[in-house]
């Protein structure tokens, strides 16, 4: 199930190579001095980096964060290679990691097996001839491989964050987002998707005379689902998605399946209430299941199953999947080498086991202490900002300060590691069979939480993930070990650069607690309105301005008869609030740290200038047009260029640092908006 907890990630990933020598705090080669900072600060600060780091064929977007990601892949792959060369004790995490890794590398076996690992499953689905058989088929897929029609899972109750409850949510689109099915500008992608489905059905041996009809059936069902799906902007409305109903009413309203059979087969225990997140989507799925011809539903289920398996089968399946999802949708030119694909599977499915090994080798407790100190400094700065707000009442300010003081801070790695002892990896079985077994294990692990207290110590990112998040359901900020590398945190850099980088990351995650979604949750993580009506209205007026600022940004010009593409300010609102808040809070924290001891310029740049240059460095990247279009539709984060330029245009301290009074970067004060 798609996680319902709001994990508002920083997504400000950046990089370095293994530190054999000092990494410069500000690399002068990153600049494009042909551009003035008042015209395009992003290009000025990162244009040299872009020129020296052209897009690699396997990437649709390559940036400073990918450099550190590549470095981490090499590190983790070396750990796996060392394991694979030893004889591990059966049942140990080393055995599970190394066997899963070796199965992914074994191209000879995978290509010899071809479609064999999925044929029995596909055959069962295509032989469905009666509607009464659908419950078992869907339950089996939900328990292990895919979420056709809808998803069911367990998560913290949004209004009772200490207890776990069951949710039903929209799912089941092969292209992921509804707009790919519904808008005219995506016609070419729809055509490519049908070609991909044709290839999948052909590869599993479906007679050529039946393939066309099967593809049309899949498209018909998925398009009908898409028409009822919520948009990505609608999915940001947490209140609208909180629709608890009794078990009896749920089963009565959505009556297409035998729910008692479903619960038993999927492994869901007893419950009284279920929260339906996107009601229109579940209603559409129910209607299809009751009225669509069974053979059409069978074709749809088979397509969902094969698509889920494609990346774990022979090269013809893998390449077909890459041609559509990689090339057509993202603009990638070349598939990742096999070792990267192989290592990503155990790194994801046994993430904390890998993380435990990773931190033992690469994470210092001194780094953890540095982060805790920085977090404390940023909390102080955010408290200062809350106290100084001119648009918020004292009553709401007091609640905001309580929430800030209640933040849980997670640094580096979990205090308690996930136990994988009951997960089995069997090299005698096919790669796909093991992926299915892992899927079943994770589903059982999730559903076992039903009706139990929420484990607030659980992490939602592995320690080797180069990212960070804020979780409003537990009012926590989390910074995995891998994020503490240059240019996020550079022990050889001056304070100004580190506050502009890791300081902004910390401030960004803290601000998520007070963005348009996070502000709806109280200090205990419950969705609960702690704002006065007047304060909520004042906040909305300010965020509306920010939405319109980003809506005005043209991310792609008109081309080939297609209109220009603009940023989606509503979709990215939370991240844009957090970017601005992170910058302002970290700047205040830097000034607090410097006090009256203003350092001399370094390389000709003042501390204030180096702060903003440190921030811009995080976003150095090159990106393909296809990926710009895809991310603009789907990603809650603005594109890197605009996370720099559009955000900085609201901040007077940035103008002061570089003496900007005109140019394309300059925005008149009356048009600016400051939120936190």
Tell me how many degrees the CA angle 543-544-548 measures, rounded to the nearest 5: 115
pTM of the model: 0.94
Q: What pLDDT was estimated at residue 21?
A: 58
Tell me: the pLDDT tens digits for 489-504? 998 999 999 999 999 9
Q: Is the pLDDT of residue 19 over 60?
A: no
Which domains, from first to last, does the chain contain?
8-78+365-416+457-671 (3.40.390.10), 111-335 (1.10.1380.10)
* Rounded Cα distance, 354 and 344, in Å: 11
Of residues 484 and 13, the one with the higher pLDDT is: 484
| Cis, bond preceding 141 (omega within 30 deg of 0) | no
- From the number of C-beta atoms within 10 Å of its C-beta (0-12, 13-18, 19+), residue 496 rates as buried
Q: Is the pLDDT of residue 376 over 70?
A: yes
- The stretch 353-357 carries a mean pLDDT of 96
Q: What pLDDT was estimated at residue 221?
A: 98
Q: What pLDDT was estimated at residue 270?
A: 95
Tell me how many degrees the CA angle 642-648-653 measures, rounded to the nearest 5: 170
Contacts of residue 28, Cβ cutoff 8 Å, sequence gap at least 6: 603
Give the number of other Cβ atoms within 10 Å of residue 531's Cβ. Answer: 19
List, in sequence order, every residue forming a beta bridge with 521; answer none if it has no partner: 527
Tell me: the pLDDT tens digits for 630-641? 999 999 999 999
Q: What are the φ and ψ backbone dihedral angles of 8, each rounded to 5 degrees?
A: -85, 95
Q: What pLDDT was estimated at residue 22?
A: 83
N residues, the chain: 676
DSSP assignment of 403-445 = HHHT-EEEEES-SS----TT----TTS-HHHHHHHHHHHHHHH
Q: Is 333 helix (H, G, I), strand (E, B) or coil?
A: coil
- From the number of C-beta atoms within 10 Å of its C-beta (0-12, 13-18, 19+), residue 598 rates as exposed
Q: Is the pLDDT of residue 163 over 50?
A: yes
- The stretch 610-627 carries a mean pLDDT of 97
Encoded tokens for 344: 């990503």
pLDDT band at 64 (very low <50, low <70, confident <90, very high): confident
* Rounded Cα distance, 352 and 442, in Å: 13
DSSP assignment of 128-178 = --SGGGHHHHHHHHHHHT---SEEEEEEEETTEEEEEEEEEEE---TTSST
Tell me: the pLDDT tens digits for 236-286? 999 999 999 999 999 999 999 999 999 999 999 999 999 999 999 999 999
Q: Is the pLDDT of residue 401 over 90?
A: yes
Q: Residues of the chain with pLDDT > 70: what percent? A: 97
Tell me: the pLDDT tens digits for 456-473? 999 999 999 999 999 999
Which residue from 433, 434, 437, 427 is spatially nearest to 106, judged by alpha carbons? 427
- The stretch 615-626 carries a mean pLDDT of 96
b/e for 146-174, b at 16 or more Cβ within 10 A? bbbbbbbbbbbbbeebeebbbbbbbbbbb
Q: Residues of the chain with pLDDT > 90: what percent? A: 92
pLDDT band at 10 (very low <50, low <70, confident <90, very high): very low
Answer yes or no: are the C-beta atoms of 289 and 297 closer than 8 Å: yes
Write down the mean pLDDT value for the chain.
95
Q: Is 274 helix (H, G, I), strand (E, B) or coil?
A: strand
Of residues 528 and 10, the one with the higher pLDDT is: 528
* Rounded Cα distance, 579 and 637, in Å: 10
Ramachandran bin of 355, using left for φ above 0, alpha for ψ from -120 to 50, beta for the remaining angles: alpha
**Strand bridging mode 408-412 / 476-480:** parallel
Q: What are the φ and ψ backbone dihedral angles of 517, each rounded to 5 degrees?
A: -95, -50
b/e for 617-647, b at 16 or more Cβ within 10 A? bbbbbbbbebbbbbbbbebbbbbbbbbbbbb
pLDDT band at 562 (very low <50, low <70, confident <90, very high): confident
Encoded tokens for 129: 């001839």
Long-range contacts (CB closer than 8 Å, 24 or more residues apart) made by 122-130? 122/204, 122/302, 122/305, 122/306, 125/298, 125/301, 125/302, 125/305, 126/206, 126/298, 126/299, 126/302, 127/298, 128/294, 128/295, 128/297, 128/298, 128/301, 129/294, 129/295, 130/294
Tell me: the pLDDT tens digits for 44-60? 999 999 999 999 999 99
Contacts of residue 137, Cβ cutoff 8 Å, sequence gap at least 6: 124, 125, 128, 301
Encoded tokens for 27: 């690399």
Answer yes or no: are the C-beta atoms of 489 and 495 closer than 8 Å: no
- From the number of C-beta atoms within 10 Å of its C-beta (0-12, 13-18, 19+), residue 74 rates as middle
pLDDT band at 478 (very low <50, low <70, confident <90, very high): very high
Contacts of residue 410, Cβ cutoff 8 Å, sequence gap at least 6: 459, 476, 477, 478, 479
DSSP 335: P
Residue whose structure tokens are 């009442």: 393
Tell me: the pLDDT tens digits for 653-662? 999 999 999 9
């Amino acid at each position: 199930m798609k996680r319902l907890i709001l994990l508002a990630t920083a997504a400000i990933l950046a990089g370095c190579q293994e530190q054999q020598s000092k990494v410069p705090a500000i690399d002068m080669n990153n600049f494009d001095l042909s551009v003035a900072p008042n015209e395009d600060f992003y290009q000025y600060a990162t244009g040299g980096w872009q020129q020296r780091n052209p897009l690699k064929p396997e990437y649709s977007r390559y940036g400073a964060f990918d450099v550190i990601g590549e470095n981490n892949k090499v590190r983790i792959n070396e750990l796996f290679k060392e394991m694979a060369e030893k004889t591990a004790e059966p049942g140990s995490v080393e055995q599970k990691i190394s066997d899963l890794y070796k199965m992914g590398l074994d191209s000879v076996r995978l290509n010899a097996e071809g479609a064999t690992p999925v044929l029995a499953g596909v055959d069962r689905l295509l032989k469905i001839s009666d509607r009464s058989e659908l419950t078992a088929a869907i339950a089996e897929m939900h328990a292990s491989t895919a979420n056709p029609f809808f998803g069911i899972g367990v998560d913290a109750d949004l209004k009772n964050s200490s207890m776990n409850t069951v949710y039903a949510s929209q799912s089941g689109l092969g292209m992921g987002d509804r707009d790919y099915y519904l808008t005219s500008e995506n016609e070419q992608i729809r055509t490519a998707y049908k070609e991909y489905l044709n290839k999948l059905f052909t590869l599993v041996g479906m007679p050529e005379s039946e393939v066309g009809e099967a593809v049309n059936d899949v498209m018909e069902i998925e398009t009908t689902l898409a028409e009822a799906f919520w948009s990505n902007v609608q999915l940001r409305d947490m209140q609208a998605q909180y629709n608890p109903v009794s078990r009896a009413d749920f089963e009565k309203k959505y009556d297409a399946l035998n729910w008692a059979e479903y619960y038993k087969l999927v492994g869901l225990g007893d419950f009284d209430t279920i929260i339906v997140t996107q009601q229109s989507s579940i209603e559409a799925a129910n209607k299809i299941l009751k009225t669509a011809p069974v053979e059409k539903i069978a074709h749809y289920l088979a397509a969902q199953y094969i698509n889920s398996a494609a990346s774990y089968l022979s090269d013809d399946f893998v390449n077909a999947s890459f041609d559509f999802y990689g090339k057509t949708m993202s603009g990638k030119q070349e598939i990742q080498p096999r070792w990267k694909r192989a290592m990503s599977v155990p790194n994801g499915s046994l993430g904390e086991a890998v993380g435990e090994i990773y931190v033992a080798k690469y994470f210092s407790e001194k780094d953890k202490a540095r982060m805790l100190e920085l977090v404390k400094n940023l909390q102080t700065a955010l408290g200062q900002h809350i106290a100084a707000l001119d648009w918020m009442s004292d009553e709401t300010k007091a609640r905001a300060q309580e929430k800030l003081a209640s933040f849980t801070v997670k640094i580096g790695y979990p205090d308690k590691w996930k136990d994988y002892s009951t997960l089995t990896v069997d090299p005698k079985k096919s790669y796909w069979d093991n992926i299915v077994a892992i899927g079943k294990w994770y589903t059982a692990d999730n559903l076992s939480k039903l009706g139990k207290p929420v484990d607030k110590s659980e992490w939602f990112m592995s320690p080797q993930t180069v990212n960070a998040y804020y979780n409003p359901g537990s009012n926590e900020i989390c910074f995995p070990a891998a994020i503490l590398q240059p240019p996020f945190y550079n022990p050889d850099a001056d304070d100004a650069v580190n506050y502009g980088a890791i300081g902004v990351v910390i401030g960004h995650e803290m601000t998520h607690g007070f963005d348009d979604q996070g502000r709806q949750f109280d200090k205990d993580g419950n969705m609960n309105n702690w704002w006065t009506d007047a304060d909520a209205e004042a906040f909305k007026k300010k965020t509306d301005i920010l939405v319109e600022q980003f809506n005005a940004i043209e991310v792609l010009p008109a081309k080939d008869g297609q209109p220009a593409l603009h940023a989606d300010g509503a979709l990215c609102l939370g991240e844009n609030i957090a970017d601005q808040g992170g910058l302002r809070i970290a700047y205040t924290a830097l000034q607090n740290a410097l006090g009256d001891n203003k350092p001399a310029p370094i390389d000709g740049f003042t501390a204030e200038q180096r702060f903003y240059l440190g921030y811009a460095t995080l976003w150095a990247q090159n990106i393909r047009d296809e990926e710009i279009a895809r991310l603009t539709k789907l990603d809650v984060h603005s594109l890197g260029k605009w996370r720099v330029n559009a955000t900085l245009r609201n901040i007077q301290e940035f103008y002061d640092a570089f003496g900007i009074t005109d140019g394309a970067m300059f925005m008149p004060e009356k048009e600016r908006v400051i939120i936190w």
